[in-house]
Amino acid sequence: MGWIERGWEELSHRLRLALEPYREGEELVSVVHANQPALFSTQLYAIGVTPTRLLLLPLDRRHAATGKPIALRAGDIEASAIWGWGGSIGDWLSASAGQQVRFTAGGTKYKLMVLGGNLLEDALSGPSQKSGLEALLDFLLAARR
């Protein structure tokens, strides 16, 4: 395991520990690190995937929790687009859509940038990030049904 993978595995372990108190007895299937860019800043998230919920824990730039997580059930997901596919025409045509996982829940729009999803990014991210991304995408796809 190279130093990049070790760094991602350490980060995944720290994020998992930060999310543990909020899982309410559910299995924490996987954890993924994501960010939601804004005009002059970005919001970092640790996203925990359980069998029934997504836990979006806001983080500071040192990856420490800055509050309690937002818990979303599959029924809360109103719309989603993965890498620009499956959403509206606007989602597909957006310049950054091919790099984002987008979904709307409770009237709030999330446009998350997640490292992974193609050969180069999978090589840069490490196994925990890759499995976390797969779990997130599986949750969003199941919520669409």
Is 50's pLDDT higher than 70? yes
pLDDT in tens, 53-102: 999 999 999 989 999 999 999 999 998 877 654 544 454 444 444 568 88
What proportions of the chain, in percent to the nearest 5, are helix, strand and coil?
40, 35, 30
Please report the pLDDT score of residue 6 as a whole number. Answer: 77
Whole-prediction pTM value? 0.82
Nearest to 116 by CA among 81, 69, 82, 142: 82
74 and 91 Cβ atoms separated by less than 8 Å: no
Nearest to 54 by CA among 104, 121, 115, 107: 104
Please report the pLDDT score of residue 89 as a whole number. Answer: 47
Rounded CA-CA distance 92/86 in Å is 8
Domains of the chain in sequence order: 3-143 (2.30.29.30)
Please report the pLDDT score of residue 8 as a whole number. Answer: 76
Please report the pLDDT score of residue 117 as a whole number. Answer: 59
83-91's contacts with Cβ under 8 Å and 24+ in sequence apart are: 83/117, 86/144
Mean pLDDT computed over 117-126: 57
Rounded CA-CA distance 57/43 in Å is 10
